[in-house]
Amino acid sequence: MKRFFAQIDGWFSSNSWLWFGGLCGVVILHFGTAILRLNSFFPSIQALDFSTYYAAAWALRLHQSPYTWSKELFEFLAETQGLPRLQIQLSPPLWPLLLQPLTLFSFPTSAILWLLILLLIVLYCHLLMVRMAGYTGWKIYAVTLPFTLTFGPLFLNLTLGQNGVFLLLGVLLLGESVKRAKPSLHFDLLVVVMWAVAFSAKIYPILWMGALLLLGRWRMLVGAGLVGVLMFGGSILLAPQASAEYWLDFLPNQTRSHSTQVSIEDQSLGGFLSRVGRGDQYVFPGLSVSDRLEVSWSFPWEFSVPGIQAFSLVLLLLLGVWLTFAWIRSNGEDQGSIVYALALFSLLPFPHMDRYNHILALPAIAWLWERGGRYRHMAVVGYGLFGLSRLNHFWAAYLPSPLGPIATGFGLFGVLLLLVGIAQAIGDTNSTPRSPQWGADRPGE
C-alpha cells in the first residue's frame, strides 16, 4: 500500500495535489450520495425498477399485457408474491421473457437474487475496467472497487434494480472483442448474444453496431443481426400480442410523449435543450422518494418544441460527423475507443435518458485514465460531473432559472466532455498509455 500512495503524486503531470484534492472531493460526493441511498436495501430491498420487470415477466406468464397493468394482476402479485408497487415497464417483450425464471420465486427473494446477479456482473466489469486503465493485481482491484460501486449512475442501478449493468457488460465485451487481433468465434458469439440482451433491455444499444461498420467487422455484424433476429423473432412467437402492442403502439406513443413532456431526469441532448429553451413546470421526487417537489421555470426566451428538436438533431449530426472524422484520421489505432465513444453518443439522441444510463461512461473514464496527462484530468472532471448530477433534484429545487435548468445537465456535460476527450486522444500521438502498472511485479522491487 505504501508504494501505491507514493505514486499518487506522480499521477498528474502538473498541479498534482490540486488535482488529487479535486479527485478526493468528487469521490466523497459519490460516496456520500451512495450512503444516503443505503436505505434502498434495508430493511428490505426496494428495487423499484426491478419490480416492473418482475411484474412484466408475470404478466407474460399469465398471458396478459406487460404494458397496461390490470387491477387483477396487481392484486394477485401483491397478495401472492409480495410485490409492493408497479410502474410502467419500458423494455421490449424479450426482456421480461428472459426474466421468466425469477417468477419461480416471490418478489422479495427474486429482488435479492437480482441484486446478487448485478453485483457479480459489476465485479467482473470492474476487473475489465481496471485492466483497461492500465493496472493489474488483486490489491488495486480491491482498493478501486469502492470507486466503481459508489459511482453515482452505477449505484443508482443497484438501488433501483435497473438493467444498466447488463449494458455495461455488453459495451466492455464488445470493446474487448474489437481490440483482439485474432477474432474468436466463441467469444464473438458471447459478445453478440450479450449485445442482444442489452438491446432487449434498452433500445439505444442498436447504435453500438456502428462500431462494427466503421471497423469492417462484417462477420460479427452479420452474426449480431442473426442472433438479434433469432432472439427477437422468438419473443414474437412466444408473446405475439405483447410484441405487436410494444412495437406498433406503446413504443411510438412513449417516444412522442417523452419528446414533448421532458422531465428533470432526462439527460438527452434534446431534453436538456428543452429545459433551457422554454419555460415549464416540473414535478420530481425529493430527498425521499415518497416526497414530491414542484418547480416552475420561466425565461425571457421561448423556443418552440419543433425548433428545439430540429436544433438538437443538427447538433447531433455535427457531433457524429466530427467523431467519425476523428476516428478516420486516427487510422483505427485503438479500436476499442470507437465502441466506448459510440456508447456515450448513444446516450444523447434518445428521449427519457435517465441518469442511471450514464453507467456507460465508466469505460470511457478508464480508457482516458490510461492515456495520462490532460486526458486523465478529463477523466477526473467527468467523474466529478456525474457526481454533481447525483444532486440533480437539489439543483432543480433550490437554484433559480436559468442556473437550475443548466445544472440539471451536469450528466450530459460529463458525456460531452468524455466524448471530446476520446476524439482528441485517438488523434494525439503523444497520448500513449502512461499508467503505473501498480500491483504487477517489476524488476528491483
What tens digit of pLDDT does each residue of 354-375 get? 999 999 999 999 999 998 888 9
Give residue 69's pLDDT. Answer: 86
The predicted pLDDT at position 15 comes to: 60
pLDDT in tens, 228-266: 999 999 999 999 999 999 999 999 999 998 888 899 999
CA distance 290 to 435: 45
Instruction: Report pLDDT for 3.
Output: 43
Sign of the CA dihedral running 319, 304, 357, 362: positive
Q: What is the pTM of this model?
A: 0.92
pLDDT of residue 9: 46
Under-70 pLDDT residues of the chain: 1-16, 287-290, 331-333, 429-445
Residue 245: partners with Cβ closer than 8 Å, 6 or more residues away: 65, 67, 68
Neighbours of 138 (CB within 10 A): 9
pLDDT at 332: 63
Sequence-ordered list of residues with C-beta below 8 angstroms from that of 249, at least 6 positions apart, any chain: none
**How much is the pLDDT for 81?**
85
Residues in contact with 170: Cβ distance below 8 Å, sequence separation at least 6, in sequence order = 191, 194, 195, 197, 198, 205, 208
In this predicted model, what pLDDT tens digit does every residue of 30-73 receive, in sequence order? 999 888 888 888 878 889 899 999 999 999 999 999 998 888 88
The pLDDT of residue 445 is: 30
